[in-house]
Amino acid sequence: MGIALRVDLLIFAGLIILALLSWFAWDRRYRKNQGTDVPEGYVATAEVFIDPVNGKKFRVYYDPKTGNRFYREG
């Protein structure tokens, strides 16, 4: 194998690893902000959506102090 091919393979492998790490980091962030008990200080928004992955319906709650969002199933 030539050096150029090795560099291309290393770059490609790095991009794949970066993509996987990004996916898992997003998934963890999303899941920690959902559940059935809405945290204190959060207010309901008009936003409701259906998760395309599992088909479940979620209502969005918002904390005006921090800007964080919470996703309640149902």
**Contact indicator for 40, 52 with CB cutoff of 8 Å:** no
**What does the chain look like in DSSP terms, one character per residue?**
--HHHHHHHHHHHHHHHHHHHHHHHHHHHHHHTEESSPPTT-EEEEEEEE-TTT--EEEEEE-TTT--EEEEE-
The structure's pTM equals 0.55
Q: Which residue has the higher pLDDT, 21 or 72?
A: 72
Phi/psi of residue 59, nearest 5 degrees: -105, 145
* pLDDT tens readout for residues 23-60: 766 655 555 667 778 989 999 999 999 988 889 899 99
Residues spanned by the domain of 43: 3-73
Structural tokens at position 59: 């209502």
User: What is the number of domains present in the chain?
Assistant: 1
